[in-house]
Structure 1
Amino acid sequence: MNNKQNILLAFYGDDFTGSTDALEFITRAGAKAVLFIEPPTAEQLQQFPQLDVIGVAGKTRALPPDEMEKVLLPAFEQLKATGAKQVHYKVCSTFDSSPTVGSIGKAIDCGASVFENKLIPVLGGAPSLGRYCVFGNLFARMGIGSNGKIYRLDRHPSMSKHPVTPADESDLRLHIGKQTDKKIGLIDIVQLAKPVDEWMSSLTDEEVVLVDVMDETQLEKIGEWMNGLDDKTLFSVGGSSVEAALGNYWNRTGKLQPDTEWKNTMKAEPLLVVSGSCSPVTAAQIEWAKANGFEEIVLDAVKIIEEGIVDASVLNHVAVLLQKEKNVIVHTGSKQTENLSSEKLGTALGTIAKHAAIHSNLKRVVVAGGDTSSYAARAMEIDAVEMIAAIVSGAPLCKAYSTNEKINGLEVNFKGGQVGGEDYFGLF
């Protein structure tokens, strides 16, 4: 990639919903940031002058380790070539992964081979999203942007029952340690209260260090620490707290000016929601939508997996309802709790959304579900997105860029399964 822009940060997200989460936090900090589906070419970058941040919305969360490596090694090399001082592998705030699917350890190994850091930081919490890491153990609120209860990760009613990567360990050192042979240390909340130059006094030969994050006031100091950690490009791992930490520090030093004013958005009429989420949070949101006038279409998920296509009758039914100015929610029903192909379900949902945009006066789409979101975005022929409004923390409203004129300019919201209160879809 031949890019002469002054890039502060380049991040690679393991799915689309998580990538827009990172996009929001760094955009709020005042960065000019664009999120691409693939590492951008020089020609693509020329369309966005004066970029501060480049993001890539990947799909590694749903891949086995060998396929992750084939994707991540060239992607990391391309991000390194931007000259960015900071490169971040963005994971879900609940660290969804296992040794066989979406391995964060494999991503760490790939990053270590490309960037050759002496130490790779892993930020463990994201307080604004209701994720708190204390003495290495992760706790998560039930529903981002809600007032749900907080649970230790391995006792979380949703994450402990995730159909692909159920959380069975709250200590992130042990969780990630099952996925990499690298030695993992910890900077805990007691050390965080000390001066930054004393943080690593307890570390010896660790190659990776987990950093507790309990409170938003800690983020600026963490950003300062990250900026001084390596003379070369620093490779880090974690949720959007990485963007929050760096953004807060760059705000303090004057490198960026925070952006606090956003576009006033009216509710869309009609609105299309497509959901492949298996979260009970999303299930409650679907019930709310049904009770508040949304037309419901339940897909035969097993049939989609077996045949790999969406019935033309479904595509036409969605388009007709939208033409009648009806709000529509399309989801994968009770079968979504089974371990079905994220690629096939996500592609089906994206195909429905693209067809709807072409055949109706659709201006806005909400896509729910982390595992399926990356495939849905690709099926919609989205090339890149840029944040245009803050609705719920961790899930911004974005403008889509596409060579398909019916998709170009479409307003899109990508929501992880844990995001939002029951009335979430009513906000759009």
Structure 2
Amino acid sequence: MLAHALPARPVAFYGDDFTGSTDVLDVVAKAGLSAVLFLAPPDRAMLARFPQARVVGIAGVARSQTPAWMRAQLPAIYESLRATGAALLHYKVCSTFDSAPEIGSIGEAARIGLEHFPSRPVPITVGAPALRRYVAFGNLFAGFGDERYRIDRHPVMARHPVTPMREADLRRHLAQQAGFSIGLVDKVDLATPDIRRTWRDIAGSDDAVLFDTVDENDLVVVGDILHARILQATARGEPVFAVGSSGLEYALVAAWRAAGLLGTAPAPRPIAPADRVVAISGSCSPVTAAQIAQALQDGFTPVRLDPVALLSDNAAITRATDQAAAALAGGRDVLVYTADGPDTMIDLPPGTDGSAFNDRLGTVLGHLLRDLLARSGVRRAIVAGGDTSSHAVQQLGLHALTVASPLVPGCPLCHGHSDDPALSGLEIALKGGQMGQRDFFRRAKTGAASHA
């Protein structure tokens, strides 16, 4: 077990989308570790504004980008992570691992990391039981409703509009994206008494190693292994590079807690109900569709948008903004959305690049949200959809987020930090498509946190 105290800054991470980035904030904040998420790589002056932060994150958009974009952008981002002085540098991906060789390639991001950081093998930790994500014998499973599905048979992720998951064996999935070898430390290996010493023998000469993570016991063992790597990195002055979901932080926290290295986490600050909230959604997930339907039953005023018209007709943006602003002025909550499930038909013009279209849509929705916040004075906002959040939040004039209070697992309510007094202190929740219960939007308004 662990025998040393934590480094002053044990982890820094780059999230390949914004919702996943706040997922990490949620994990470490619940463990009592102060953390900050920057919305762009921080310079020294910006980093110095948050001297108490033991975990530092940078929210990004790599999940919706090409390998060429990654080769151009990730080296500088990785150097920004290195400049934080953290012992472990984490390329954070979604716990559903959805990615493809041409879009959001986790393999390409890992290969770039291997070029910049000499430590081998790169640990890959994906399962996060608290989020109902499990890796067993290298295969990824995820919960949906009352069931658990292999990811290539998952009702949502097998039909993802951009990166459908067609392979559950994560090593085979990565092999389509990466030109390096990947070992596996599986559930049986993790149960052996000396695994903390022998896992490197299992990995052999592999460039990376995937860890099974099915339950809390697995998390503690994997966290022990990761912490030992952190101590080695601290001693030699060269950080460890790792890839994975928030399962990596869940594993570290489980090990640190089991070893008594974490103090008592502070009680969550109660969330006061908001007088009004404004929500925007670009998510096509059926989970979000059910949440939208419930929100309308709960009294949210709907503003349904045609995404194609929104990007081609300025008058459509004006009409939508005016409709939403009028409802907010009348004291009502507003939900602006572009889809109500995976079967929503979007008739793109011939030759349209779908990924670029989604990027532009998120940007337009971000401008719409900022306009609504300025016109209404609303101080709590919700953004649903990973790609939507990544591009929309960049339009709000915020430079960082910190956790205000837990809301649902993987999606905390955050404080926005801005040099604009009208935006600083904005409360905002970034909800991934699969996150939250059916009444999520009502909970985000009333402040009723859930641990399910």
Q: TM-score range by the shorter chain?
A: over 0.9
- d(CA) in 2 for partners of 1:73, 1:234: 15
- d(CA) in 2 for partners of 1:337, 1:374: 23
Is the Cα–Cα contact under 8 Å of residues 12 and 55 in structure 1 kept in the other structure?
yes
* 1:71 partner letter: Q
- d(CA) in 1 for partners of 2:206, 2:306: 48
* 1:117 partner letter: S
Correspondence for 1:55 = 57
Q: 1:134 aligns with which of 130, 136, 147?
A: 136
Correspondence for 2:116 = 114
Q: 2:161 aligns with which of 150, 160, 163?
A: 163
What number of residue pairs does the alignment pair up?
420
User: Which moves more between the two structures, 302-311 or 243-252?
Assistant: 302-311
Structure 1 segments unaligned to the other structure (5+ residues): none
How far apart are 1:255 and its partner, in Å? 4.4
* 1:48 partner letter: F
Q: 1:400 aligns with which of 399, 403, 416?
A: 416
% identical aligned pairs: 40
How far apart are 1:27 and its partner, in Å? 1.4
Is the Cα–Cα contact under 8 Å of residues 359 and 388 in structure 2 kept in the other structure?
yes
Correspondence for 1:345 = 361
User: Which moves more between the two structures, 240-249 or 120-129?
Assistant: 240-249
Q: 2:373 aligns with which of 357, 360, 373?
A: 357
* 2:303 partner letter: I
The alignment partner of 1:40 has SS state of: coil
The alignment partner of 1:200 has SS state of: helix
Is the Cα–Cα contact under 8 Å of residues 126 and 246 in structure 2 kept in the other structure?
no
Q: 2:389 aligns with which of 352, 361, 373?
A: 373
- d(CA) in 2 for partners of 1:36, 1:380: 13
- d(CA) in 2 for partners of 1:336, 1:323: 31
User: Which moves more between the two structures, 149-158 or 308-317?
Assistant: 308-317
* 2:415 partner letter: K
Which digits, 9 at most, give the CA deviation of each residue in 1:369-390, with x for residues without a partner?
A: 0112111110112211000111
The alignment partner of 1:311 has SS state of: helix
Correspondence for 1:326 = 332
Correspondence for 1:411 = 427
**TM-score between both structures, scaled by the size of structure 1:** 0.94
Correspondence for 1:224 = 224
Q: How does 1:184-203 map to 2 (within 5 A)?
A: 184-194=182-192, 195=194, 196-203=196-203
- d(CA) in 2 for partners of 1:264, 1:124: 30
- d(CA) in 2 for partners of 1:406, 1:316: 20
Instruction: Label 1:122 to 1:155 Cα distance change in 2 as closer, same or farther (>3 A).
Output: same
Is the Cα–Cα contact under 8 Å of residues 124 and 172 in structure 1 kept in the other structure?
no
The alignment partner of 1:75 has SS state of: helix
Correspondence for 1:269 = 275
Q: 2:33 aligns with which of 31, 34, 38?
A: 31
How far apart are 1:81 and its partner, in Å? 2.1
Correspondence for 1:98 = 100
- d(CA) in 2 for partners of 1:256, 1:151: 34
Correspondence for 1:389 = 405
Tell me the C-alpha RMSD between the 2 structures: 1.8
Correspondence for 2:449 = none
**TM-score between both structures, scaled by the size of structure 2:** 0.89
* 2:380 partner letter: R
The alignment partner of 1:413 has SS state of: strand
- d(CA) in 1 for partners of 2:20, 2:347: 21
